[in-house]
Amino acid sequence: MEFLLQLTEDWGEELFSALSKAGGKAFSNMAVGYNNVDVDAANKYGVAVGNTPGVLTETTAELAASLTLAAARRIVEADEFMRAGLYDGWLPHLFVGNLLKGQTVGVIGAGRIGSAYARMMVEGFKMNLIYYDLYQSTRLEKFVTAYAAFLKANGETPVTWKRAATMDEVLQEADIISLHPVLDKTTYHLVNKERLAKMKKEAILINCSRGPVIDEAALVEHLKHNPMFRVGLDVFEEEPYMKPGLAELKNAIVVPHIASASKWTREGMATLAALNVLGKVKGYPVWFDANKVEPFLNENARPPAACPSIVNAKALGLPTSKL
């Protein structure tokens, strides 16, 4: 018995023990994030835990960029105004928002998705970048450096980048802040009352990572007291619910965890999750690089004889495919 699961289901000691007793050896989340899975418990019962990296990167980053634009240009408010029949002619101050060009975008968690989002905002809108991550994102830094040189060569103001030593630096300096870390003990309520107070009064905060990365009740209070501060949220602390008061706030844009909802991505997630468990059942090794999953998505060729991404491969001592 093997399992394919959604991120809405929590898997811990009890379920892995039951799975193991039933002879199960493999489990895969149909998601890249696996904070819903107790990997230590899976290790204890020798169950391989799969996830689906790579296929969500651009789709999720694009939704974060969409929320950024929607918040910056107040698109939802303006749409509601229009549909309510309130528009009676152009006015110089009607729904004035923020210009992104030349402003600073802050990325917290510059992994696959955070880096893709950073590139979109830097290249698309000529924003300067400040990022915070536990690790250096050399590829991202190289990209911004090369883009700055390109702009300069074309007589335009070059963009800049900075790796912040602390997260607070990002909060204080950035005009737009987008959250893309994993959810774990180090990122739970990473954005809390004190940190919200450090952000610019007119900043925009985007969250397409996991709801509990923000203390949502503190956010509601902050939004109430700072009408020029805006947020775009794809994820919530206690999905499918929102904290009281959030739904009434005009400076919040809320969407129902749809960041990965493109057809290509959802098909890719299902394919990778299925191949993770199938590969384990067949006794295949683990793919050599979970970030290079394209060969598993080619409709015209058989997928490699490997499990695309097993997060506890090392802990279980599973062999790696050599290609």
Ligand X SMILES: NC(=O)C1=CN([C@@H]2O[C@H](COP(=O)(O)OP(=O)(O)OC[C@H]3O[C@@H](n4cnc5c(N)ncnc54)[C@H](O)[C@@H]3O)[C@@H](O)[C@H]2O)C=CC1
- For residues 28 and 277, give the distance between their C-alpha atoms in angstroms, rounded to a whole number: 6
Residue type at position 137: S
Which of positions 54-93 make contact with ligand 3PY (CB under 6 A)?
56
Residues 264-303: x where in contact with ligand X by CB under 6 A, - otherwise, as a string: ----------------------------------------
Angle between helices 263-282 and 57-72 (to 10 degrees): 150
What's the DSSP call for residue 10? -
Closest CA relative to residue 33, chosen from 309, 316, 318, 314: 309
Residue of 3, 5, 7, 190 interacting with ligand 3PY (CB under 6 A): 7
Contact characters 242-281, ligand 3PY, x per CB under 6 A: -----------------xx---------------------
Select from ligand X, ligand 3PY, none the partner in contact with residue 7, using the beta carbon and a kind-dependent cut-off of 5 to 8 Å: ligand 3PY
Q: Looking at residues 125 to 144 of the shown chain, list those that interact with ligand 3PY (rule: CB under 6 A).
A: none
Are residues 277 and 27 in contact, defined by beta-carbon separation less than 8 angstroms?
Answer: yes
For residue 21, the cross-strand partners are: none
Encoded tokens for 181:
């870390």
The DSSP code for 259 is T
Residue 136's CB: how many other CB atoms inside 10 A?
11
Site for ligand 3PY in 13-42 (CB under 6 A): 31-33
Cβ-based nearer residue to ligand 3PY, 45 or 188: 188
Hey, which residues are catalytic here? Answer: 210, 239, 257
What's the rounded Cα separation, in Å, for the pair 223 and 241?
18
Which residues contact ligand X by CB under 6 A?
A: 32-33, 53, 56, 60, 108-114, 132-135, 180-183, 186-187, 208-210, 234-235, 257, 259-260
Which residues contact ligand 3PY by CB under 6 A?
A: 7, 31-33, 56, 259-260
